[in-house]
Amino acid sequence: MARRKHNAAVKRKLIAKGNNNVKMDRNADLKSYAGKEIRANRKYKDTVFRMLFSDRENLLSLYNAVNGSSYENSDALEIVTLENAVYMGMKNDLAFIVDMGLFLYEHQSTYNPNMPLRDLFYISGEYQKLVNHKSLYSSALQKIPAPNFIVFYNGTEREEDYWINYLSESYENLSGEPNLELKVLTLNINEGHNRELMEQCQSLREYAQYVAKVREYARESDLDTAVEQAVDDCIQNGVLAEFLRKHKSEVIAMSIFEYDKEEEERKLREAEYEAGYNSGKQDGYNSGKQDGYNSGKQDGYNSGKQDGYNSGKQDGFTEGKCEIIHLMFDAGESLEKIAQYTGYKVEELKNLLKK
């Protein structure tokens, strides 16, 4: 996967200002790319992250931490999440407008390089909902809130604090600058990552602690027991205590589903890797075998040609020499004299003259 690297100053700028990003003008046949995933149409299940940050105060705290702002009135957030938009069995977690920006927040426990493409589909639905279609035909420029795409990642595959995925990474045969670009900033919210961000948002920090507890207990016992232990432990130690007490049964059910889904996707990726490895190994073997055959055939041809040339040259030289011997003998030269000129012995000359 191609990724662009950024220095610390750029990183702070990305987090503070979001990532405004849509330049449009290319049609794409999405059916062939998305067909397989769209068929995996599981019934949507909510997530602990989405439930936690559906609370306006928690969401405002998260927004302030990400953007370095200090809004105090949660009513400033206009929630615009498309509740009926289901893709691959999961909704976009949170979408809201604030300060003339449209923010799409999503939680991911497994790395997904297709987030720019998913967000392209989703943002199209958002703009269709927000824009007055009749105004698109007027002479006045239709203004839309600037999009910002952020993923909060707490999987185990990636170790970076953050990274950016670009829609243009999905393009085949791209030449020059893409006519349509969309970038998604991913922030690692596992314990120990993005400490400054965690310090600014208590709900996010405690959510990371809760997830770490679930994983810790899951290494020692079955999943159901591990989740219940993690919930009880966090309540006892004041980690998301009020939230967990209020929604204990829902959180346990959602956590079990999320962890099961995470494990299922991990096993699927391992199977895909194994299948790809075996396929590549076989293709490499076949290709190497064919190249070896072709190379051997060419070497054999060249070697045979050279040997034939040398052999033919030798035979031709011998035949020419025999003809000279016959001519000298017919001209009356003695065998001793001919032997002196040709280097043959007299007995050898007698045998040659018989042919």
Per-residue model confidence as pLDDT tens for the chain (355 residues): 444 444 444 444 454 544 444 333 333 333 333 333 323 223 334 689 999 999 999 999 999 999 999 999 999 999 998 876 554 444 678 999 998 999 999 999 889 999 999 999 999 999 988 887 778 888 889 899 999 999 999 998 889 999 999 999 999 999 999 999 999 999 999 999 999 999 999 999 999 999 999 999 999 999 999 999 999 999 999 999 999 999 999 999 999 888 776 665 565 666 666 666 677 667 766 777 677 767 776 777 777 767 777 766 666 666 777 777 787 788 788 888 778 777 778 887 787 787 6
Look at strands 183-188 and 162-166 and give their pairing. antiparallel
Q: Does residue 247 fall inside a structural domain?
A: no
* Residue 329, domain extent: 314-354
pTM: 0.64
Query: Is residue 231 situated within a structural domain?
Result: no
Question: How far is the C-alpha of 169 from the C-alpha of 307, rounded, in Å?
Answer: 55
| Distance in angstroms (rounded) separating the CA atoms of residues 166 and 168 | 5
- 10 Å CB burial of residue 97 (0-12, 13-18, 19+) is middle
In a domain, 34, yes or no: yes
In a domain, 225, yes or no: no
Residues in the chain, overall count: 355
Does residue 95 lie in a domain region? Answer: yes
User: By CB neighbour count within 10 A (0-12 exposed, 13-18 middle, 19+ buried), where does 204 fall?
Assistant: buried
In a domain, 176, yes or no: yes
- pLDDT value of residue 344: 78
Pick the last residue of a domain from 160, 184, 200: 200
Domain boundary at 182, 200, 218, which?
Answer: 200
Q: Does some domain include residue 258?
A: no
| Cβ contacts of 21 within 8 Å, gap of 6 or more | 147, 149, 181, 182, 183
Domain count, the chain: 2
Domain boundary among 185, 200, 215: 200
Is 275 among the domain residues? no
